[in-house]
């Protein structure tokens, strides 16, 4: 039997396999690093793309918010214009009403009553005047109560004033004016 020494050949084979293994390991590590780098790059690109989309959406949302604000301003202006138009229409509709109020007032004032001032606030009229006696004031109030245009006269103040004689008085009263087309309510 001959003796063949296979140790160097096995060592060479082991070294070759080890070198191949290390090469494959290095190649796998390099491929893994490249795959991770590629993955990170793709993720960063997606993040940048999404941030660009978000920025675009934020700009569009800001523009839409500005448009919504403008729309609300326009709605406010529209409501103001409509309110003004309603006031003007009410004034136009009630324009002849003041003439009727004065006409009716002239009809219900009894002799011996002299009016100094009238002021209208809403649906009421404040009357300041002078009377020759308390009976004249009572007659005036009854005439107002029975009138079509006036209701609920309320005497607020009576003071003695000698301008119209011994029984002369100065008076303040308030009376409600009925709306056009409204029916008068009983006392």
Q: What mean pLDDT do residues 99-120 have?
A: 81
User: Does residue 168 register a pLDDT over 70?
Assistant: yes
pLDDT at residue 29, rounded to an integer: 95
User: Does residue 149 register a pLDDT over 60?
Assistant: yes
- Residue 65 in tokens: 């918010």
Model confidence at 184, in pLDDT bands (50, 70, 90)? very low
User: Does residue 155 register a pLDDT over 80?
Assistant: no
Q: Reduced to 3 states, what is the DSSP secondary structure of residue 169?
A: strand
Task: Indicate the pTM of the whole model.
Answer: 0.46
Name which of 123, 127, 118, 117 is nearest 94 in CA terms: 123
**pLDDT tens digits for range 43-90:** 999 999 999 999 999 999 999 999 999 999 999 999 999 999 998 888
The alpha carbon of residue 37 and the mean position of all alpha carbons in its chain are separated, in whole angstroms, by: 56
**Residue 124 CA: distances (Å) to CA of 24, 127, 140, 152:** 105, 10, 16, 10
Q: Reduced to 3 states, what is the DSSP secondary structure of residue 90?
A: helix
Q: Where are the domains of the chain?
A: 98-177
Q: What mean pLDDT do residues 7-32 have?
A: 90
Longest alpha-carbon distance in the chain: 171
Whether 133 contacts 158, CB under 8 Å = no
Whether 155 contacts 171, CB under 8 Å = yes
pLDDT at residue 82, rounded to an integer: 95
pLDDT at residue 37, rounded to an integer: 96
Hey, what CATH topology would domain 98-177 get?
A: Gyrase A; domain 2 (3.30.1360)
Cα 138–Cα 184–Cα 99 angle in degrees, nearest 5: 80
Q: Reduced to 3 states, what is the DSSP secondary structure of residue 139?
A: helix
**pLDDT tens digits for range 171-182:** 888 888 877 655
Q: What is the Cα–Cα distance from 94 to 39, expressed in whole angstroms?
A: 80
Name which of 133, 119, 142, 123 is nearest 171 in CA terms: 133
Of the given ranges (24-28, 55-59, 102-106, 178-182), which has the lowest mean pLDDT? 178-182
């Amino acid at each position: 039997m001959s003796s063949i020494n296979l140790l160097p050949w096995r060592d060479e084979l082991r070294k070759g396999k080890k070198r191949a293994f290390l090469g494959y390991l290095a190649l796998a590590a390099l491929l893994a690093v490249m795959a991770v780098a590629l993955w990170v790059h793709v993720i960063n690109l997606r993040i940048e793309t999404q941030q660009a989309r978000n920025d675009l959406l934020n700009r569009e949302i800001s523009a839409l918010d500005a448009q919504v604000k403008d729309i609300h301003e326009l709605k406010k202006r529209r409501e103001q214009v409509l309110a003004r138009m309603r006031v003007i229409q009410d004034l136009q509709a009630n324009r002849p009403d003041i003439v009727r109020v004065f006409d009716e007032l002239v009809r219900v004032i009894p002799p011996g009553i002299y009016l100094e001032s009238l002021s209208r606030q809403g649906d009421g009229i404040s009357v300041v005047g002078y009377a020759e006696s308390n009976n004249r004031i009572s007659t005036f109030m009854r005439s107002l109560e029975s009138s079509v245009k006036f209701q609920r006269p309320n005497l607020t103040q009576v003071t003695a004033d000698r301008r119209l004689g011994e029984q002369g008085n100065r008076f303040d009263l308030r009376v409600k004016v009925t709306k056009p087309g409204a029916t008068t309510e009983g006392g």
